[in-house]
Structure 1
Amino acid sequence: MSTFKVMQFNMQFGQIWDDSGTVQAPIDLDLTIAEIRSFDADIIILQEVEHALPGGVQLDPPPNYTRLKAALEGYHSYFSYPKADPRELPFGIGLAIFSRTPLRDMFRMELPSPPIEFEFEGEKKTPTDRLLIGAKTTLYGREVQLFNTHLLAYFMLNSSSERHLQQRQLVVEQLRRTHGPTLIAGDFNVSNRDSLIHQFADAGYRSVQTTEVTWRHRPFVLDHIFHSRHLRPVRYTVKPTSASDHHILLAEFEFQK
């Protein structure tokens, strides 16, 4: 049976990992690109592609995505910023899907964030909205629905997505509308992974792995590749990288007979 490889990576806009954990670590997009290319994945799903700019400015064309497209020659791709918002903090934004096979039926859906107040650099803030994107492709004659998301990190705001379920529910509702082979990868930003795993299992989706830590700052499994019953994971691996504060998650799939 033929297999295909999927990469899940929060690339943190090319900012390398510094053991001090500083937000001032240098950006090295060449390293990010080299890491992505080295794994030779058929499907590449990326979060935090771009660096958020002051005032919610969004450059067009997106500079990092433009460089990625040039470096990943032969791949088809789709990128989307979240809704422009002057409240955007200077971290990573923007989702991308790359595929060796053509993409079609691309879409984006905004995931509203609740007005939870938090302090950032001495000022009161509220979080900006998040995003779900999707596209379809055909692999070995089978149509596959792909999704990519990056949810709000409620644990960074002294709250939890168990108390604020809307973003997760919107994603699950979208998953329930699909009926064939489907993958959703992303940075789910859920510290209590058990609640996420059970919620997605109720919708018919399983994560390829739930135990290996994928984030350097805290021992959390934030990154997942969930799959529908039509796909079987053959193998997976979590690959540490100095190209981000997230590790790379790789999974190889085959179609269920």
Structure 2
Amino acid sequence: MKTFRLLQFNMQFGQGWDEAAPDAAPIRIEQTIAEIRRHDADVIMLQEVEHALPEGRQVEPAPNYTRLRETLRDYDSWFAYPKADPRELPFGIGLAIFSRTPLRERRKIDLPSPPVEFEFEGRRTTPTDRAMIGAKTTLLGREVQLFNTHLLAFFMLHTSSARHPEQRRRVVAELAACEGPTLLSGDFNVSGHDALIAQFAPAGFSTVQRTKTTWRRRPYILDHIFYNAPLRAVQHAVSPTLASDHHALVADFEFSE
């Protein structure tokens, strides 16, 4: 049986996990790289690749992505920041796709955030826009469309994506336009994942797992790998790691046709 493997990992810009002081845990990009490499995946989807800087500055070339490229030399890859914005908070930003086979037709889709006001460190602000990136590659002789995204965490703003559905609607529209084998991976930042799964189902997409928590800070399933009917998920695993506040999610696929 011929299969290929996808790794979904929010790497939290290389910051590991410290149960006693999670926000003060050291940044060790080499630990991140070791975690990525141990899964021996054919496709790697990463979120929060870089640490957001004050005033929304975006360093080029992106330092963590550059280090990953230097190490993962047998992969083709590309990286994209979200739209630059001085309101950016000091968390993780940036999406990357790594593939053992060449990537082509690379694109970035902006996902605007609604003007929901919230307070951060004593000041009122609104959330910055998010993004989804896509590319095509050939796996086991078949063309596959890849998407990677990191959506806004509405639960952190004391509201919900049900009240502000536009980001997910845009993602669903991209999925609905895909006819061939397609994979969507990412951190969807949804506390109630059943609604997310139900929304993607009419576009023909299923998630590989919906029972095991993927985030250490709260018992939420934030990370998903969605796939459509030309693909079959053979096996999957939520893999605990101390290299991030997210666990790694790994899935092996075969073609169903």
The residue aligned with 1:249 is 249
The residue aligned with 1:226 is 226
The residue aligned with 2:20 is 20
The whole-number CA distance in structure 2 between the counterparts of 1:76 and 1:187 is 22
Q: Indicate how the Cα distance of structure 1 residues 202 and 43 shifts in structure 2: closer, same or farther if over 3 A, else same.
A: same
State the AA in 2 paired with 1:40: D
Q: Say whether residues 1:159 and 2:159 are aligned partners.
A: yes
Shift of 1:202: 1.1
Aligned runs of 1:59-78 on 2, under 5 Å? 59-78=59-78
State the AA in 1 paired with 2:84: A
The residue aligned with 1:83 is 83
The whole-number CA distance in structure 1 between the counterparts of 2:239 and 2:143 is 28
Aligned runs of 1:13-162 on 2, under 5 Å? 13-162=13-162
Shift of 1:140: 1.4
Q: Is the contact between residue 104 and residue 136 of structure 1 (CA under 8 Å) also seen in structure 2?
A: yes
State the AA in 2 paired with 1:48: E
Q: Is the contact between residue 78 and residue 97 of structure 1 (CA under 8 Å) also seen in structure 2?
A: yes
- Gapped regions of structure 1 (runs ≥ 5): none
The whole-number CA distance in structure 2 between the counterparts of 1:58 and 1:215 is 26
The residue aligned with 1:189 is 189
Return structure 1 stretches of 4+ with deviation > 6 angstroms. Answer: none
TM-score normalized by the length of structure 1: 0.99
The whole-number CA distance in structure 2 between the counterparts of 1:131 and 1:24 is 27
Shift of 1:24: 2.0
SS of 2:85's equivalent?
coil
Q: Is the contact between residue 21 and residue 217 of structure 1 (CA under 8 Å) also seen in structure 2?
A: no
State the AA in 1 paired with 2:80: S
Shift of 1:22: 3.1
Q: Tell me the percent identity.
A: 65
The residue aligned with 1:177 is 177
SS of 1:106's equivalent?
strand
The whole-number CA distance in structure 2 between the counterparts of 1:118 and 1:46 is 27
RMSD of aligned C-alpha atoms? 0.6
State the AA in 2 paired with 1:196: L
Deviations 1:95-144 (A, max 9, x none): 00000000000000110000111111111110000000000000111000
Between the two proteins, the alignment pairs up a number of residues equal to 257
The residue aligned with 1:239 is 239
State the AA in 2 paired with 1:91: F
Shift of 1:73: 1.2
Shift of 1:23: 1.6
SS of 1:23's equivalent?
helix
- Gapped regions of structure 2 (runs ≥ 5): none
TM-score normalized by the length of structure 2: 0.99
